[in-house]
Structure 1
């Protein structure tokens, strides 16, 4: 009543100190964050935007079923890791794949266009729930039109749909409809986090087939962990043949792990001679899992192709001069040459070995530093996880619920909670594997962790690269 006859003047734009205050407050409310993000130069339509955000939510809540399914599909794509710009052809396929079948059958032929008309309409100064991505003059033309979810709605939608795990039909849409490597890698990581490692391997393979060598490393890791070491070698060779010097390190590692130890050693030596010590350093991880003595032999071969034993015999001796003399004597007898000639050969090889040894030492020191950096990052990640009161608390609460159900003998409920946690990425395969192994499901925890689960969350049987290729051929037609 007091405001019934009042005339409140609101400026068209905000600037100066008002914008500074907004910057300080954007962490408090996602609507303020988006209002700041949508500032057009010095023309800040803050009031109009804040008035529009509730309308966006209202339009989302009250949307026709089909339009809501389209918007949910866009939100899910972002949740799965897709970039902000979503091609229209991908959005229509994703909406059709995730929509209720009866709803899709009842929808009009122009359901997508009708939905866009509803979702693109502005909301009191803010955008509609969806925004058409404009192409500016000079920007590259890439496929059809694209759309973006309004930031505020995306944040709300991510939270509201966090427990939704999509139907298997989306996998074919992903494999056929996404061509950006970064988007494919993000979607594969989403699946790995939820235990669908076989399906993640399909996505990584698709990205590799499209020329993304970074996906090769991740696919090879999954294959090696799934005990398909020959498959890991095959993928590593593809990356290596692409000409990337860094790829030789992984190839050497997987060659050794697959039993091709001599080829692995030759690759390390060849690359070291070319100035690349990464394979020699990387393969050390494989030797440490198997044969530390063998790594010392490889080290000797790298330092001296002519006399591999010279490093262990002389440089590691407590009395190098005496060791060098004895080695020269043995060499003279073996080669049937004079002592003077043998000493000359040994001294010459030692002169060549010293700079190579320096390179090895520097490479190992750098490797130790890299391990420390990785260790520090892991600690930072764990600290961030613990500081996320909601996420960490929810994970611990879920684990306690699972344990309580197990203790009470309610295994069906425990399994359901595990499935829920796996689908949102809050618990890992080790929880499922441990549960199944403890309660007589005739499956080992190791098997579950190595091979993951199928789309429905059930333990998957062993698989290899041939299976992944076959599944992709079936999906791509």
Structure 2
């Protein structure tokens, strides 16, 4: 029986039919065929399309609606007509909800304004259906060593450690409804992946586990983030650098931004993201920006803030006791305990000793193949090497005698040795076969633990020429070739770097073109630099095109400029196409200009599209400008789109919310301020409250993963502490609350804003609580302020606990025992300043061990300041050995940084033992500092030796500085040749190139 459609259904049908007609009313069969071409396919039929267009029914699947609107809008724009109207997704939601209610169903949960409107595809396996045996394949848990005894299951019995409790806290928050992310940071085979497996196994019914892998890890995740992630999905990001690091290629920051947006948006939540990463990759992703250099990981750094859980390499004393208890029920654990004296249980279980023995005893050819794979991974993040690469690269790792002794089938024999399993553990290299239906390649993957060994043992070794040649010839991924070019350049192998950059540019990597042009410019080879820039411009680099055009136009070389623009336009450079369209418009060739403008409209560069929209606005074509801005889709474009909204108040508000959800708050702020100025206080208050709700959800998500909260206090009195702006929220996130308070004060009375502040403060917002306390004190309501503070203390509010503890530090009447309890409560509530105060008090009381423990506890949670201050204080007191010993105890993620700072503060003979140990421990910065100090001591031969090692390790500065100081006393012109041309692969001065 046909059900009469209501208002929303009719509106949606009218929108869809109008868009279909603007698309030229294509045959329904053609639309069905186009749906089948999508990946994954969109299932349609001509009868269902006819039903939807006539308004007799409403499509129920979000992805179907998304495809239809996108397809029809694209066809309409190509025909010169308007695309999809704003708010179409709301029309569909309303139609679906209307149909549900007419059928007697429950109303659907309303979709928040700042979230996606369509249901996301379901991915992954139900956690409840996962079997332990599966952990070793798709989920990449290390297979345990075999033992000659019956075992209780595929996986060894699990021993919970301190980090497991931290992970479970995050999992519980996700189960409770808040999207969360946690990243386990630790050395190879330290138990990171197994800890993740155990944590997700406790997810309740309905949760799924999904591992993005195909066509590549980063691309699979990027595609999914664009389509949306279904609620109750746990995303498995083992080896996080493959998703948001250099190994992810050009899309790394896009993936990081997408993950940030997903975690901040609760529309389709909750979602749980679990990742693992080695400390060196974590350090790269989270390192502070260096002034004057591109910020390669801005989005990743913001994403990962407060997300780390550090996994120690060895079991602590109590954990070992627990392992012995469990070991009585699992012979694999018992075997590990019997063969490890340092607590490295997980490494033994993962077969690390077995792998290491086979690596140490490998025949020369096998050792060469392994070394080539090690260098590919550590220098370029190449996780899958093909056989041709190994064959070309390996020869340079062999001595002359070993190379002459190679048999006819040396490569096959070497690969057979590396793939041989032992004690149930996979070999040094594992064969990876591409599936026929996938887009992967055949190749070999280095064992995780041996990769870890290679990063340490080959830290100060540069690859031979055959390695760089193999990279140029046999690596098909442009961004990996570029990364290896950067590695060569860091080692002063500039000629090798130039060849790799050129290969990467030929493969389409535009960043490689920038690096190569810089290398040529540094050598004053302007012609070569221009050739590279032209190649990059023709390949689509708009910035380089602008750099090339500017001098041509300034010198009035218009013919050459026009030739460049036309050739770049013909090859698809959107910037060039925009320039050409503008020039043709000025020349009155409007028809030809329109053709090029149409090409611009099809590009995906937001900056170019925004510029095109500016042209349209100047011509008065506001409707098409809106279409182009919507296609651009970035924060600035949506902000401009909101500024162009000229429909109803509801449409203007919808546009403002779309911009707000993308991070552009100005349109919504201006909308609320205009409502306030017009006397529509209720509308203004509603907009402010809605914005506050979004900011609050993001604040809770941001703080949930922060191990230690910084309240930015310092040594002030409580009165001074409660002054304005002492504790700002994240930049740009206080305006809504501030203006709501001012609005309420102005319309309802001087204290009316207290209610809004109190409501937000009770949700845990420290800024709101601070503001409310300040207002109460300014009005003379000190008793009420104190009562409020005490009530928040009782609720374990972290800021309130620290405020009380801080006051106790300033009040001599407070007993020391009470002061200590208050500080420990604040520290337990994640207050950075409380931990710092506890460290200082323990040190002053002569309790060095207690001070160490508090400082190390904070450093393990990403707050190394107290540890460094403690190390530095002992250094200044002349307790050099104690300072150095504490520095070496720092967690792996902070140790190198603390030790380097300590070394930089020491002089003369005092620093040499520390630098020697740092070199023995393969810390990358050690050779460079050793060279500097040895040269100052007159040990020139030793200084040169370590400067060359530093260059081989990727720190060319020490050797460059040495060469610059010695070039004037250089009879053989070796140092001058080095300064001019760099080094060969073997480390000798290179010839001109």
Pairwise TM-score range, normalised by the shorter structure: 0.5 to 0.7
1:312-357 deviation line (CA, Å, top 9, x unaligned): xxxxxxxxxxxxxxxxxxxxxxxxxxxxxxxxxxxxxxxx9xxxxx
Contact 1:405 1:414 (8 Å CA) reproduced: yes
Contact 1:434 1:445 (8 Å CA) reproduced: yes
CA distance in 2, matches of 1:150, 1:458: 33
Residue 188 of structure 2 corresponds to 30
Please state how far the C-alpha of 1:131 moved relative to its aligned partner. 1.0
Residue 140 of structure 1 corresponds to 439
TM-score normalised by structure 1 residue count: 0.60
Q: How many residues are aligned here?
A: 350
Partner SS for 1:246: helix
Go from structure 1 to structure 2 and tell me whether the alpha carbon gap of 1:100 and 1:457 turns closer, same or farther (over 3 Å shift): closer
449, 462, 468: which one aligns with 1:165 = 462
- Structure 2 residue 652 is matched with structure 1 residue 122: no
Identify which range, 449-458 or 81-90, moves more after superposition.
Answer: 449-458
Partner SS for 2:411: helix
Greater share of residues in helix: 1
- Structure 2 residue 106 is matched with structure 1 residue 106: no
Go from structure 1 to structure 2 and tell me whether the alpha carbon gap of 1:236 and 1:400 turns closer, same or farther (over 3 Å shift): closer
Please state how far the C-alpha of 1:200 moved relative to its aligned partner. 0.5
- Structure 2 residue 983 is matched with structure 1 residue 453: yes
Go from structure 1 to structure 2 and tell me whether the alpha carbon gap of 1:161 and 1:55 turns closer, same or farther (over 3 Å shift): same
Residue 435 of structure 1 corresponds to 965
Go from structure 1 to structure 2 and tell me whether the alpha carbon gap of 1:277 and 1:261 turns closer, same or farther (over 3 Å shift): farther
Residue 363 of structure 2 corresponds to 64
Partner SS for 2:189: helix
1:130-169 deviation line (CA, Å, top 9, x unaligned): 1111323511264xx3000011110111211112222223
Residue 153 of structure 2 corresponds to 11
Go from structure 1 to structure 2 and tell me whether the alpha carbon gap of 1:37 and 1:385 turns closer, same or farther (over 3 Å shift): closer
Partner SS for 2:430: strand
Go from structure 1 to structure 2 and tell me whether the alpha carbon gap of 1:118 and 1:39 turns closer, same or farther (over 3 Å shift): farther
Residue 941 of structure 2 corresponds to 412
Contact 1:252 1:267 (8 Å CA) reproduced: yes
CA distance in 1, matches of 2:366, 2:443: 16
TM-score normalised by structure 2 residue count: 0.31
Please state how far the C-alpha of 1:411 moved relative to its aligned partner. 3.0
Which structure has more relative contact order (CA 8 Å, sep 6+)? It is 1
CA distance in 2, matches of 1:89, 1:161: 22
Go from structure 1 to structure 2 and tell me whether the alpha carbon gap of 1:89 and 1:227 turns closer, same or farther (over 3 Å shift): same
Please state how far the C-alpha of 1:117 moved relative to its aligned partner. 2.0
CA RMSD for the aligned pairs? 4.6
CA distance in 2, matches of 1:400, 1:246: 38
1:12-32 deviation line (CA, Å, top 9, x unaligned): 236999598399696454213
Counterparts of residues 153-232 of structure 1 (less than 5 Å): 153-232=450-529
Task: Decide which structure has the larger Cα Rg and report it.
Answer: 2
- Structure 2 residue 539 is matched with structure 1 residue 237: no
Counterparts of residues 5-404 of structure 1 (less than 5 Å): 10-13=152-155, 21=164, 27-33=185-191, 36=194, 50-140=349-439, 142=441, 145-252=442-549, 261-263=555-557, 388-389=897-898, 398-404=927-933
Go from structure 1 to structure 2 and tell me whether the alpha carbon gap of 1:446 and 1:100 turns closer, same or farther (over 3 Å shift): closer
Go from structure 1 to structure 2 and tell me whether the alpha carbon gap of 1:396 and 1:55 turns closer, same or farther (over 3 Å shift): closer
Partner SS for 1:388: helix
Contact 1:53 1:123 (8 Å CA) reproduced: no
Residue 13 of structure 2 corresponds to none
Residue 347 of structure 1 corresponds to none
1:265-289 deviation line (CA, Å, top 9, x unaligned): 9969x99xx9x9999xxxxxxxxxx
Partner SS for 1:30: coil
Which segments of 5 or more consecutive residues in structure 1 lack a partner in the other structure?
Answer: 1-6, 280-301, 306-351, 353-361, 363-382, 468-477
Residue 307 of structure 2 corresponds to none
Please state how far the C-alpha of 1:445 moved relative to its aligned partner. 8.8
Please state how far the C-alpha of 1:190 moved relative to its aligned partner. 0.6
